[in-house]
Every structure is written in C-alpha cells, then in structure tokens.
Structure 1
Amino acid sequence: MKQTNVETLFGQLDKAVELIQENMNETYLDSLTVAMEVFFYQELSEDTDENLKQKLENILKETDVSSYHTEEIRKAVQLAILKGMKGPTQQQHLMTPDTVALFVGYLAEKVMKNREDIRVFDPAGGTGNLLTTVLGQLKQTESAFASEVDPTLIQLAVLNANLQQKQIEFFHQDSLRPFLLDPVDLIVSDLPVGYYPDDIRANDFELKADEGHSYAHHLFIEQSMNYTKDGGYLIFVIPDFLFDSDQSDKLHAYLQEFAHIVGVLRLPETAFKSEKSIKSILILQKKGENTATPKQPLLVKLPSFKNTQAMNDILAQMNSWFSTYMKE
C-alpha cells in the first residue's frame, strides 16, 4: 500500500526523534522538539555528535517539509505528539482529539462568519493542535495568541506553528495571571480540568471557591471572558459534569450575568475512553450592547463521528440553526 504524505512525513520525523532520543537519552517529547527544530531550520547545531549529525543530515536530504500542505504537516506532528504521549503522561499533556478540534473550527467559522480581521486566543494552548486546526478553518484571522505554562508543551506548540507557517504569538505563563493582551473576538479552548493550586491568585476571581481550592476550569472561563470583546464568542471544550459539580451554582449565576449561552453540544461517547472523560462543547457570547440570548439555544447530542449519515443530518440541522441565529 502506498503511504500517504502524512505517514511519510511522520515516518521521517519519528526516525529523527528516535535517533535523538538514543543519543541524548531524553524523553520522546523532548527529543521531538529537537527534531522539529532540525526540520524547521534545516540545519543542526554545532555541538551535535558527529554520528548523529550524519544520520540526521541524511533524513533532511530525503525530507522537503515545504513540499507538504499545512494540514499534512499538522497531522504528521500530531501523530508524533500522540506517540510521545502514549508513555506516562500527565493529564494536562493530553491533546484535543482531531475530530473535536475540527468541530470547534466548524463552530468558530459559523459564529465569525460576518466578521473581518478576527483576533483569536487560546488561553490553554497545549501543543497548539486546537488553535492551529481552528486557524486552518478561519480564513479572515488577523492575529492569533496562545498561552501555556508547561515548557515542553509550549516548545512543541511554537515549533508546530512554525512548521505550519502559522503566525501565533505565545505567552509562556500561568494563564490565570494577567496578560498583556487587548480583548479578542474569539476564544477557543479545551479547558484544563482540576483544582487551581494558587489560592491567593484565585481570590481575584468571582468564581473562586468559598473554601479550599477553586476549580481551574471555572477560573479559565472567567479569565477568558475578561479577554473577550463585548459581543465576542467563546467556544470551550468542557467536561461533561461542568454544570453538575458542587460549585456550579456560582458558575450558572456568573454566566447569566455576563454571557449568553448560544449552545451546548454533547460529544459522542465513542470519542472517549471512559464515561468519566466524556466532554461537551459550550458556545458562549459575551454580553454587549446589541447582543441577545438566542430564541432557542443550540442543544445537540452528536452521533458517533463514524456514522456519516447521522453526522450529515445533524450538520444540516446545525447549518440551518446557524443561518437563523446569525440573522436574529
């Protein structure tokens, strides 16, 4: 069977990573950042071991990254990152699945339809997969921003953006601290789930817990609202239990005051390993002068991504919902 371009590029990247890993005794993900730098700059650092240099130069001779489409590069990098994450990874190192990222991109394109020069921000950027997928679907983006606190993930995200030739400005910081960033038109984010350890910082948020640690996923929603223009949109990948937890009353009240709930889409259970990890997509609009709650919010339970017929039916219904909503 003939290999696809994605498989060929992934194969070359993987080969380079394994050579670097053997030579430098690093983890797969850390070696991947070195390999991506080599592919991007098309050269090796002076102090590279001679034997390794020879082997990597041979891989470079066989690989012309510029001959691949952006989407092929994104997918090949994603396969390498997924391989690196198969080992003992921490929860926050999990990547947004491709189908989910594409769906967020589809929704972003719908709500941004009538806008030009869009500014987009992902406050939990991770490896950049969600943001670069969305940017691939939004043609009228003027500038994009992402924040990530984890050093390995942000390195991967920067190189991922470079290889795909996507202009993204990255903040390497705790995303719940203040940003030097003007408000944006659109926020997309796969919310980190769990407790936020910095109680002093959490005190500045309305959604802080009354006692004990606050939920990071709640604080991320509030932080995102702070950096969204009035009338701007926020599309979050959320844990299925977001509105059923012990602090959800506060979240409900906050959203009622500052946002319109545009829709909730429950992702198919088949896309997740266990019932605990099922997620939904929440679409919000920040309240502004001429905004209103949709007459009928978009509430959808998505069928399995593999069921093409059911998926096409639901997309047709959603397209018609959006064309009515955007006229309201």
Structure 2
Amino acid sequence: MKSNVELLYEWMNNTTELIQEQVKEPYLDSLGLTMEMLFHQSISEELDDIITHKLQAVLKDIDLSTFKVDEIRKATQLAILKGMKDSTQQQHLMTPETVALLVGYLADKVTQDKEHLRVFDPASGTGNLITTVLGLLKQQVVTYASEVDPTLIQLAVLNANLQQKKIEFFHQDSLRPFLMDPVDLIVADLPVGYYPDDITATEYELKADEGHSYAHHLFIEQSMNYTVDGGYLLFVIPDFLFDSDQSDKLHRYIQGNAHIVGVIRLPESAFKSEKNIKSILILQKKGQNTSAPKQPLLVKMPSFKNTKGMEDILEQMNSWFKTYKAD
C-alpha cells in the first residue's frame, strides 16, 4: 500500500505534468501553479476552460486536511527535486532531508534555554531547510527568510503556506541590507561560488583583495551582522571552506567575531561526489557573557543508513550539549 507521502507526491506530479502540457512552462513553474491550486483550493484564472475542467476533477481527488504537515513537506520536496533534475541551474539545489533534520536537531540544542526565538535563513531556496528546522523547534518562533531567485522564492512561499508555517520572506539579494532587526539564530545552506556584484562586496571585511569575492564568505559576514550578541549561526558549509585561497582572512574574521562551537562533518555517502562533501559549522557570536566551549564539538558522522552508529553519535552529542549548556 502506498504511503501518504507517495500518494500526495503522485498527485502533485501528475497535476504538474497536466499543467505543464498546457502552459509549456518549466516543471518548477508548473509545480508552483499546482501548489497554489492546492493551497487556495481553486484554479488559476489564467488557464483555459478545457484544462480548468480537468483540474477541477483532479482537485476533488485530494483532501489536504488528511495529510500531516511532515507528509506535505516531504511530498513537496520530492516534487521540487524532480523539477530540479530537469533544471540545470546550480542554485536550484536543495538541502538533503537528513542534513536539514540534523541542522534542526542542532538548532534545538543551542536554543533550548530560550522561550522566544527569532530565526533567519538568508539563503532559503525553496524553503526546505527553514521549514524542517521550524518543525523541530519547540518555542514560539518569529521567522524570516530571503531568496533572490523568483522561481525558488515562489515555491518557498507556497511550501510554507501548505505547511502552515508563518515565515516573512524577503525577495532580494541577501548580501544587500535588510529591513530587519538582528535575530537569535541563523540557519543557512551557504551558496558557494563567486559574488558578481563587486560594488556591494566592497562593504564587507571579507571582500577579495582582487577579483570577485566568495559569496559563501560574504554570507557568513552578513549573517553575523544580523545576529544578536550571543546568538547562534548554523551553516551547511563546503568541506573546502577553510582551505581556499581566501581562507586566512575568513579564519581571522571568525576568530574575532565568534566562538567556534562545533564542526560536524557529514558522511561522504550523503553526497554525489567527494568535492560536494559538506559539514555543519556551529558558531556563537561573541557577546559580553559568552565564552568558547572548553572543547568544541568535533564529529564525523557515520553513514545515515548506519542506525547503530547514528544512535551512538547522537548520544555523544546529547551528552556534549548537556555539559556545554551547564558551563
């Protein structure tokens, strides 16, 4: 028997393909129309009578209220992943499910002494990372997210709506100033590559001495600018972050502004190739009452399929956090 996630994914995929045939748009744009239809329970007026008639019949086949939030998130994620396979744009990539869950687990650990939280994802893409993290935080949360790509932000907004997650989105270049007060927690899967806007880059300490600056370095600095003193930053980083030609500058910047709380190296099996391997960097912005942990949390994750290994590592991490928070 099919699971709810499979049933909803198949419905979304079939409906998207039906729309795609009609509007001759890329899969991800047609998926946006499917998600909109599902959320509003009505069909876009832009579509002609024949397809509208077909879609009205299709809409009767699904009752969104019978699905749990997590099932909606996973089905949407599968449909977006399918669309991304067809799309060759590098930025059209999604944080893997297991990695997003691990970031959520860490977010919960570093913020559990707070009753209220303000959270920001400055590189939200389709919203999978931020909605996964929100599902794991237990306190009252005010959430912000930013994304420059119009297709991705549209999917992110619909993704949040379908999951009934309240997120304020900024549709802008995240390396430009925000109309937002600093937050308690930043989560981001850092976009890797060069930042093309050299003029904006000159505002940053981490700008390159010559040529284009690294976007992933500037994102770290921008995130620090929008974090309160003592706040936490959780970044999914490329494995080579501290080995590149501009890494000395980055190292000095981090040492001057934050405590390195931990680095968690993700399993190679979670990524297509060695050059794609990532880690999670946990930072705390320095403040009056902050201090570096006696011993940072340094972990090499086993394969996510190794249940026993995962249980052992999580147990070690849980006990590390107990002593870290007690200090």
Q: Which TM class, normalised by the smaller chain length?
A: over 0.9
User: Could you tell me which residue of structure 1 aligns to residue 323 of structure 2?
Assistant: 324
1:89 Cα deviation from its structure 2 partner = 2.1
Would you say the 8 A contact 1:120–1:141 is kept in 2? Answer: no
Superposed, which structure 2 residues align to 1:140-289 within 5 Å? 140-289=139-288
Give, in whole Å, the separation in 2 of the partners of 1:220 and 1:325.
27
Q: Confirm or deny that 1:135 pairs with 2:158.
A: no
TM-score (norm 2): 0.99
Give the match for residue 308 of structure 2: 309
Residue 260 of structure 2 aligns with an amino acid whose one-letter code is I
Question: Matches of 1:219 and 1:315 in 2, distance apart?
Answer: 31
Matched pairs, number: 327
CA contact (8 A) 2:33 2:44 kept: no
**Contact 1:135 1:141 (8 Å CA) reproduced:** no
> Is 1:72–2:46 an aligned residue pair?
no
Q: Please give the alpha-carbon distance, in whole angstroms, between the structure 1 residues aligned to 2:89 and 2:311.
A: 35
Name the SS for the 2:320 alignment partner. Answer: helix
SS in 1 for 2:60: helix
Structure 2 CA distance, aligned partners of 1:258 and 1:6? 43
1:117 aligns to what? 116
Deviation at 1:45, TM superposition (A): 2.5
Give the SS at the match of 2:91. Answer: helix
Q: 1:192, CA displacement in angstroms?
A: 0.1
Q: Could you say what secondary structure the match of 2:124 adopts?
A: coil
Residue in structure 1 matched with residue 34 of structure 2 by the alignment:
35
Name 1:97's counterpart in structure 2: 96
1:47 and 1:205, CA in 2 relative to 1: closer, same or farther beyond 3 A? closer
2:294 counterpart residue number: 295
Which residue number in structure 2 is paired with residue 56 of structure 1?
55
Aligned to 2:235, the other structure's residue is in SS state strand
Q: CA deviation at 1:50?
A: 1.5
Q: Which residue of 1 aligns with 2:16?
A: 17
Q: In 2, distance between residues paired with 1:119 and 1:113?
A: 13
**Alignment gaps of 5+ in structure 1:** none
Alignment deviations for residues 231-279 of structure 1 (CA, whole Å, 9 cap, x no partner): 0000000000000000000001001110000000000000000001000
Per the TM alignment, residue 46 of structure 1 is displaced from its structure 2 partner at its CA by 2.9
Secondary structure in 1 aligned to 2:113? coil
Partner deviation per Cα, 1:97-145 (whole Å, 9 max, x = no partner): 0000000000000001100110000000000000000000002132100
Q: How far off is 1:54 after superposition?
A: 1.5
Report the CA distance shift for 1:16/1:230 in structure 2 as closer, same or farther (over 3 A): same
AA matched with 1:256 = Q
Deviations 1:32-72 (A, max 9, x none): 00110000000013342122112111111111112211100
Match of 1:4 in 2: 3
Q: Distance in 1 between matches of 2:230 and 2:248?
A: 24
Question: Could you tell me how far apart the structure 2 residues matched to 1:309 and 1:239 are?
Answer: 27
Q: What's the TM-score once normalised by structure 1's chain length?
A: 0.99
CA RMSD of aligned residues (A): 0.7
Secondary structure, counterpart of 1:93 in structure 2: coil
Q: How far apart, in 2, do the equivalents of 1:31 and 1:40 lie?
A: 14
Assess if the C-alpha contact under 8 Å between 1:110 and 1:322 holds in 2: yes
* 1: CA distance, partners of 2:82 / 2:214: 30
Matches of 1:46 and 1:197, distance apart in 2: 38
| Whole-Å separation in 2 of the counterparts to 1:28 and 1:174 | 24
Unpaired runs of 5+ residues, structure 2, are none
